[in-house]
Amino acid sequence: MSDNPFLNDHGYGPQSAADRIYAVERFDLDECRAALDVPGLQKAVANKLHSRIRKLEWEAENLRHTELGQELRCTKCNDFWPDDKEFYFQAGGRSQQPCKACYALLPSRAARKAGAAARVQP
């Protein structure tokens, strides 16, 4: 295999910056790191590669796939929980941190709850 992950199967052909940016979206972590060493790399492509590397490293650290599906690490308790509506609040189809159990224990949430309880009692 070539050291240049941008080359097509034939090993030749013109590659525009748009073609390279499109290709980066399908690269794994090793391919992204190899692509950074390609000579004459456009700045936009390098920025996209750095962004993709950060995303892949975050996913490797905070996501894991089990037989039950995808699990996400909570930012407060550092435990892995299934990435669904039962354990995380959802906004725009994405899970919001922290998990529901940790969210209930947040000081701001506790203060709002106490304030609401004080207003309700006559």
* 10-residue mean pLDDT series, the chain (122 residues): 66 74 89 88 92 92 89 91 91 89 82 72 60
The candidate with the shortest Cα–Cα distance to 35, out of 8, 11, 6, 70, is 6
DSSP assignment of 59-78: HHHHEEEETTEEEEE-TTT-
Model pLDDT, residue 44: 92
Answer yes or no: are the C-beta atoms of 24 and 49 closer than 8 Å: yes
Q: What would you measure as the largest C-alpha separation in the chain, in angstroms?
A: 79
* Joined tokens for residue 4: 């240049």
Model pLDDT, residue 1: 45
Model pLDDT, residue 14: 64
Model pLDDT, residue 56: 93
Instruction: Give the DSSP letter of residue 28.
Output: -
The model's pTM: 0.65
Model pLDDT, residue 87: 92
Answer yes or no: are the C-beta atoms of 30 and 1 closer than 8 Å: no
Model pLDDT, residue 122: 60
Model pLDDT, residue 22: 86
Indicate the length of the chain as a whole number: 122
Amino acid identity, position 100: K
Model pLDDT, residue 15: 73
Q: Residue 89: beta bridge partners?
A: 96
Model pLDDT, residue 41: 86
Q: How far is CA 97 from the centre of its chain?
A: 13
